Structure 1
Amino acid sequence: MPPDSNTPAGRPAADAVHWPFGPGDAFAQLRAEDHRQALIHSLPGMVVWPLVMMALAFAFQFAGGFLWALAGGPKAIIHLDTVAFAAMALAYFAFAAVMWRWLQRDGAHRGAFAFRPLRASDLLATVLVMLFMIFAAGRLTIAFHEFAMLDPGMTLSGGATRDEVSNVDNFIHSNAALWSIILLTLVAAPLAEEILFRGWMLPMLVARGVPAVFAIAISALAFGLLHTPQGLMVMTSTFLLGIALGIARMATGRVTAPFLGHAANNAWAVFAVPAILERIAA
């Protein structure tokens, strides 16, 4: 009997790992045993990749601020907020490029970056994610925040102020140009974060044998923790968003729906919610 083309030479077929991805999943095409093993053993990336993302964000922000100062600082034709948003967007794009190059070594880039083609199921999943975020996650976030603030001493024990704990980013009222806000919040951030958390981390956990429900929860928790500096409310809503996007990823088998759902949620949070609150206040 000829050897299985999917089993590297010298490795018995009996050593082949169980591959939990069905034919509709982007990672089903990862057939070579050594490539599958590489994905399974990439667990340290759960710490390394977020650190790389934060390091790139810091580096690009620093470089952007430095160039802005060289261009005249407050006298420059572009506001510092615009520079900051554009620098963050470039950092996210750079991070996606680094992940692509690294995952390409073992073929995992095709699964982690599986965006095309756009299917009706992706659009349906996006709609369901938004319905959950608007009608359920928002209420859950506020309820959890109110519960946490029943004893502010516990929540603020790390030295944060009440405003910092309750902080919700108000990007639309910054001095950044609209194009830079859109580029960051609707394109760059959803792209890089979905590649990391739903494109790579979630499938990696599933490949290691973690039940899908726990893999979704773990990747969503990591997603929420990344947003800790933005405050308790943002961290909570981001965790809930991660749950919804993780379900969408497992249901559709690709990151298209999570990317669209993430971008749609950011559009809702950054543009729609502030406008609604202003109308209510008026």
Structure 2
Amino acid sequence: MTMTGNGAEAPSADSGGGGAGKDPEKPAAGRGRQGWPAPALLLAVPILYGIGALCGMMAAWGTVAVLRAGGLIPQQMRLMDLLVGEGIETGIHGPYHFALVGALFTANALATMALVMAISRWTIAGGAAAALPFARVPARRLAALAILLPVLHGAGFFVVYRLTGQQIPAEVGFDILDWRMWAYPLGIVILAPLSEEIVFRGWLFAGLMERLRSPLWTIVLTTAFWALVHTGQGFAKAAALIPVGLALGLIRHHSGSLWPSIAGHMLMNALGLAYMAWLAG
């Protein structure tokens, strides 16, 4: 501070005088955009999933090592054989197949969520709080969502598989799915939807909205990349997810919360798992 001629204090240069002072705790506008541009966010998605997949495979290898050490599976049985169910005897090795897949899903999801939360502070202006909005949503909207999303999911699968002539496959060994196989539904019904929604309708959605300022392009891009990460399960399944992805994006935009998309995604996966179990008899 310096003194003026009438004895009043005038702001010094380092105090940001002239009304130009800024709250040091408030992030500068565009901070996230200056960090990572939109293409970098999109390119980060497969990297995040690659790291998550690596963590999942490490967990699977560890599970196989434990099963072999305990004499529960033959020493010659390979990891990939057990993962896909090839050469397994359902009544003997089926439980270990499900436990292995559950370990893979769990480690993959937890690693992906941890990475997203860690990088949010450098990629989103508001940090994790802005990337992962968990505002309360009226029960009526959740109830409507519980009806809408499974219908869209089923319709998408019906149309795509009808056009391509493919059959919806049933997983190996669902006839022995019981309470011991908690790891499998935990991974598919809870952790996979949670991690995917945090990545796509959470972090990526917030980042693209911050940079593009366009709900339309944000919804389209998050849906496209969400479908792309499912192409490993077949292009038909990835295409069938597009209507659901668009609906989830619209719901995320209008509700301002991740809860509806997380709940709807979990419900869809639960119904899909139940349907495949029913197909397997």
Structure 1 unaligned residues grouped into runs of 5+: 9-29, 150-161
Aligned to 1:141: 157
User: Per the alignment, do residues 3 and 36 of structure 1 end up closer, same or farther by CA in structure 2, a change over 3 Å counting?
Assistant: farther
Aligned to 1:130: 146
Give the greater-gyration-radius structure (CA).
2
User: Per the alignment, do residues 233 and 130 of structure 1 end up closer, same or farther by CA in structure 2, a change over 3 Å counting?
Assistant: farther
Aligned to 1:2: 19
1:263 counterpart = 2:228: no
1:196 counterpart = 2:212: no
**Distance in 1 between residues matched to 2:142 and 2:172, nearest whole Å:** 23
Aligned to 2:117: 100
Structure 2 unaligned residues grouped into runs of 5+: 1-17, 74-94
Shift of 1:171: 7.6
State how 1:202-281 maps to structure 2 within 5 Å.
202-209=205-212, 211-271=214-274, 273-274=275-276
1:113 counterpart = 2:114: no
After TM superposition, what 4+ stretches of structure 1 lie above 4 angstroms from structure 2? 166-169, 174-177, 275-278
User: Per the alignment, do residues 32 and 69 of structure 1 end up closer, same or farther by CA in structure 2, a change over 3 Å counting?
Assistant: same
Alpha-carbon RMSD: 3.1
Shift of 1:205: 2.0
Q: Report if aligned partners of 2:136, 2:257 keep a CA contact under 8 Å in 1.
A: no
Aligned to 1:170: 171
Aligned to 1:49: 45
Question: Any idea what SS the aligned residue of 1:208 has?
Answer: helix
Shift of 1:67: 4.3
Q: Structure 1, residues 104-133: CA drift from partner, whole Å, max 9, x if none?
A: 345421122222x5331xx44433333233
Count of matched residue positions in the alignment of Structure 1 and Structure 2: 239
Q: What is the percentage of aligned positions where both structures have the same residue?
A: 19
What amino acid maps onto 1:76 in structure 2? L
Q: Structure 2 length as normaliser, TM-score?
A: 0.71
Q: Structure 1 length as normaliser, TM-score?
A: 0.71
**Distance in 1 between residues matched to 2:34 and 2:120, nearest whole Å:** 9
Shift of 1:141: 2.8
**Distance in 2 between residues matched to 1:267 and 1:171, nearest whole Å:** 17
User: Per the alignment, do residues 226 and 236 of structure 1 end up closer, same or farther by CA in structure 2, a change over 3 Å counting?
Assistant: same
